[in-house]
Amino acid sequence: MAVRRVRRIIRKVDPWTVLKASLIFNAIVGLVFVLGMWVMWSLVIQKGIPEKVVDLFDAVTIELTIDGPLYFRIVTLLAGIGVIGMTAFMTLGAVIYNLISDLVGGVEVTVLEETYNVAQPQQSATRRTFSWKPTPAPRRPAGNGQSSEPASERERVTTGG
């Protein structure tokens, strides 16, 4: 399998496609963020760290209450805002790229393209094909003004009458 280098120029990026792809990507990232925070909070609660932090703050006379469901709602809200914001920025980036590429001509990318060597069928030496098309013989008028060709091949002129 042979490989050749091919230069491609990216001139346009469809903003609708960027919107759809970035929305799916950012939604997955947001979900991973929320689930990661939930797992981390569960581990912190199991180790008893929030109670130790509350005891430390009580020692310095600062009141602190740990509210896990409130923190989870805040994390979910921040993830939702992040998904919407990043999707909007990526779509806006595609529109700005299209405007700039109209001015400068786009981005040139060199890619490797695989080529497959397909053997062409060879014609055997004993079998040859010929194309023959008959050519009409030159027409000479007869001496009496009549054409020498048959009436079916002559142009027929009809008069209205």
* Position 45 in a domain: yes
In which band, very low, low, confident or very high, does the pLDDT at 64 lie, cut at 50, 70 and 90?
Answer: confident
DSSP lists the bridge partners of residue 44 as none
> Does residue 153 lie in a domain region?
no
DSSP summary character for residue 126: T
Q: Can you tell me the distance from the alpha carbon of 94 to that of 52, in angstroms, rounded to the nearest whole number?
A: 48
Residue 66 lies in a domain: yes
Whether 97 is in a domain gets the answer yes
Hey, what are 92's tokens?
Answer: 């806006």
Opening angle at CA 40, ends 38 and 45, nearest 5: 95
Give the alpha-carbon dihedral of 48, 50, 56, 57, to 10 degrees.
-160
Residues 102-143 pLDDT 10s:
999 889 999 998 887 766 666 555 666 666 666 776 666 655
pLDDT grade for 55, boundaries at 50, 70 and 90: confident
The number of domains in the chain is: 1
Q: Domain for residue 49, yes or no?
A: yes
Residue 127 lies in a domain: no
Asked if residue 43 is part of any domain, the answer here is yes
**Structural domain range at position 44:** 22-115
Confidence of residue 66 (pLDDT cuts 50, 70, 90): confident
- Report the range out of 51-55, 85-89, 134-138 with the highest average pLDDT: 85-89
Compute the 3-state secondary structure of the chain and give helix, strand, coil in percent, each to the nearest 5.
50, 10, 35
pLDDT in the model for residue 100: 94
Q: What are 119's two structure tokens?
A: 């053997």
Of residues 136 and 99, which shows the higher confidence score? 99
